[in-house]
């Protein structure tokens, strides 16, 4: 079975194409494919198809469309492609069944090959990727969701074409590239990266005047249509041609600029995590960083410790680094670091300016002046700035560029609401993985050792937290005699957090990560966090929090909001909050360790339930329960 969205939407079974005649049915199929392996609610489908103008019969129309899609697939022997799940529908898709996924994997393989100098191999991957396109993406879809997706896929296609031109230039095939580059530049006349590649091909073919004319024409179009000067890449290349730079006659860097200038372009992204899995929806939400053309774009990725914020940011940045030819910066702000204090903005600005060839002696000693110099240096440059592990708004704000050509990606355990309110950052809350995504991560990490049933139990015991899942996968990979099912049982039978922390070089990795968030809390929030380990069941209310602290619900609001802002608890529906099991285990350990030895007691949760039924009034005298006197016997 294979599906296609890189052209008209299609579904092809082993015994022939699946007939999906109705436009709305094709639109629904396309949206489910874009959200593959995720549960999509009827409300999401209605918004995607009608864009907020859905008719009163939207839900019934969706139900009918899903039923007919299932029938069409069933006619080809495909029974479990679209399944019903609590809350919505899920389209089950394997890794090799959607052309857009195959396209992305081929492009990533090409990047890896080019990075090792295997340009012929890279070109082969890119030709295969581009060969998957059958025309404009989602050609026959007019639903509300289609146009933004179409533009995003077009951008990915253009990047793949540019990478293919890079590979061919590195192989010395400049003559044959000129016609194709000219056609592409005619279609996208202000796309500087295409102009640079055409200029380089022309120059190497001996057409020096043509190359300079291409630069002049592109410069004029940018000024006329966008009011901008060309970026650093085109300007550097044009200057090198005017000076007859010998570096132009040798194999260029992947960006197409002279090798002599490549060293001055910051490329600071750290190693991309191997076996990155899931997060398709979140990766799509980050597209705003490349879509904004006339203003600086900023996304704040926030979530609890170990949820994969840095991994998501770095993975997205690597996939889209070609969109930022003037540099990609990465700064660890050490907001939550046991070994280091949070980075000072002035120190960070010195580092950033040093990467832009500004000497330390020139950098002002005042934060405001240094920030102004940094913004000036980034003016009209297409740059990505990743600010990882931010602690506060004040730490981030001086580091923000002012140019509309820049993009900023911030990660933090805190919500940093000031960035959202004043700078217009787009918040992206990162939750633990879905069950399907956790399975995908384990399959990528364990390969043939993966046991689906055992893996599902293991993922559940790891609270679907990426850090916990990777620690578990590392343990399994290093112990060939330990089975997935056996390790899942080990986590189920004991203290899962203690088992995952383990006696090896990852000693305490999870507890240490949680401790950094816990220590940043105020005393009241710390105590509420500890006491919440006593709450049975899956969730709790603000009234429960008040009863645990022995205060009114109004007085409990501050500590509860502090826990939410630190992503140590999360609201999962109106008026109800959850804490995942690994955090609950850590909270229980803190409870046993930190409550006073004399009279270790807390409000018995049994006293909180009547409170909820009593209009939210805390009991006059709270029931108490003695707590364990040793960490090992604490509630888990």
Convert the pLDDT of each residue in 183-203 to its tens digit: 999 999 999 999 999 999 999
- For residue 542, give the nearest of 558, 527, 522 by alpha carbon: 558
DSSP state of 619: P
Q: Are the C-beta atoms of 409 and 384 separated by less than 8 Å?
A: yes
Residue 578 neighbours by CB under 8 Å, 6+ apart: 538, 539, 540, 569, 570, 571, 572
| The pLDDT of residue 232 | 82
Report pLDDT for 601: 52
Handedness of CA 369, 372, 376, 378 (dihedral sign): positive
For the whole prediction, is pTM greater than 0.85?
no
Helix (H, G, I), strand (E, B) or coil at 543: helix
Q: What stretches in the chain show pLDDT beneath 50? A: 251-263, 598-600, 602-636
Hunting for tokens 């533009």 — which residue is that?
151
Per-residue confidence (pLDDT) for residue 338, from 0 to 100: 79
pLDDT in tens, 150-178: 999 999 999 999 999 999 998 888 888 99
**Torsion on CA atoms 317, 318, 319, 323, rounded to nearest 10:** 70
The pLDDT assigned to 250 comes to 52
Taking each helix axis from N to C terminus, what angle separates 452-461 and 466-478, rounded to the nearest 10 degrees?
130
Q: Look at residue 430 in the predicted model and tell me its pLDDT.
A: 92
Phi, psi of 604 (to 5 degrees): -70, 130
Using DSSP's 3-state secondary structure scheme, residue 318 falls into helix
pLDDT for position 529: 92
Please write the tens of the pLDDT for every residue from 127-155: 999 999 999 999 999 999 999 999 999 99
Question: Are the C-beta atoms of residues 120 and 26 closer than 8 Å to each other?
Answer: no
Say what the pLDDT of residue 90 is: 92
What is the distance between the alpha carbons of residues 374 and 163, in angstroms, rounded to a whole number?
30
């Amino acid at each position: 079975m294979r599906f296609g969205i890189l052209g008209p939407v299609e579904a092809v079974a082993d015994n022939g194409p699946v007939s999906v005649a109705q436009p709305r049915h094709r639109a629904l199929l396309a949206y489910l494919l874009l959200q593959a392996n995720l549960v999509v609610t009827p409300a999401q489908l209605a918004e995607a198809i009608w864009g907020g103008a859905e008719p009163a019969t939207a839900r019934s129309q969706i139900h009918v469309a899903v039923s007919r899609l299932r029938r069409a697939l069933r006619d080809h022997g495909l029974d479990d492609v679209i399944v019903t799940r609590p809350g919505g529908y899920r389209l089950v898709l394997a890794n090799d069944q959607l052309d857009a996924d195959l396209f992305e994997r081929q492009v990533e393989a090409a990047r890896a090959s080019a990075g090792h100098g295997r340009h012929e191999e890279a070109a082969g991957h890119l030709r295969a990727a581009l060969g998957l396109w059958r025309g404009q993406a989602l050609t026959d879809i007019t639903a509300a969701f289609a146009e933004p997706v179409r533009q995003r896929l077009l951008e990915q296609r253009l990047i793949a074409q540019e990478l293919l031109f890079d590979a061919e230039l590195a192989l010395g095939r400049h003559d044959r590239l000129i016609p194709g580059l000219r056609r592409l530049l005619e279609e996208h006349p202000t796309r500087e990266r295409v102009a640079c590649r055409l200029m380089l091909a022309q120059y190497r073919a001996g057409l020096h005047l043509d190359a300079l004319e291409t630069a002049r024409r592109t410069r004029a179009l940018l000024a006329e249509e966008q009011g901008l000067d060309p970026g650093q890449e085109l300007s550097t290349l044009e200057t090198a041609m005017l000076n007859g730079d010998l570096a132009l006659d040798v194999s260029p860097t992947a960006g197409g600029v002279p090798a002599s200038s490549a060293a001055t372009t910051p490329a600071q992204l750290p190693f991309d995590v191997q076996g990155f899995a899931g997060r398709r929806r979140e990766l799509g939400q980050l597209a705003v960083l490349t879509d904004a053309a006339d203003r600086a774009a900023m996304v704040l990725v926030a979530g609890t410790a170990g949820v994969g914020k840095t991994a998501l940011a770095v993975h997205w940045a690597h996939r889209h680094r070609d969109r930022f030819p003037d540099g990609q910066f990465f700064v660890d702000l050490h907001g939550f670091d046991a070994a280091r204090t949070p980075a000072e903005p002035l120190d960070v600005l010195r580092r950033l300016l040093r990467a832009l060839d500004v000497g330390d002696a020139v950098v002002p000693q005042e934060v405001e002046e240094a920030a102004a110099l940094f913004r000036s240096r980034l003016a009209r440059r297409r740059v990505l700035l990743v600010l990882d592990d931010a602690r506060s708004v004040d730490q981030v704000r001086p580091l923000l560029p002012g140019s509309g050509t820049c993009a900023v990606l911030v990660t933090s355990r805190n919500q940093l609401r000031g960035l959202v309110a004043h700078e217009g950052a787009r918040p992206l809350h990162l939750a633990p993985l879905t069950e399907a995504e956790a399975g995908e991560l384990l399959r990528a990490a364990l390969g043939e050792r993966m046991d689906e049933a055992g893996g599902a139990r293991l993922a559940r015991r790891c609270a679907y937290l990426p850090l916990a899942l990777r620690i578990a996968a590392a343990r399994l990979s290093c112990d060939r005699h330990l089975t997935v099912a056996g390790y899942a049982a080990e986590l189920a039978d004991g203290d899962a957090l203690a088992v995952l922390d383990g006696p090896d070089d990852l000693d305490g990795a999870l507890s240490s990560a949680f401790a950094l968030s816990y220590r940043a809390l105020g005393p009241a929030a710390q105590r509420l966090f500890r006491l919440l380990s006593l709450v049975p069941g899956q969730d709790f209310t603000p009234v429960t929090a008040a009863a645990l602290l022995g205060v009114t619900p109004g007085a409990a609001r501050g500590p509860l909001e502090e826990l939410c802002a630190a992503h140590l608890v999360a609201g999962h529906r109106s008026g109800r909050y959850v804490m995942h099991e690994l955090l609950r285990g850590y909270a229980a350990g803190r409870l046993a360790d930190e409550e006073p030895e004399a009279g270790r007691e807390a409000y018995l949760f049994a006293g909180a339930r009547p409170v909820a039924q009593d209009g939210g009034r805390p009991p006059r005298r709270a029931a108490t329960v003695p707590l364990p006197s040793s960490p090992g016997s604490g509630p888990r």
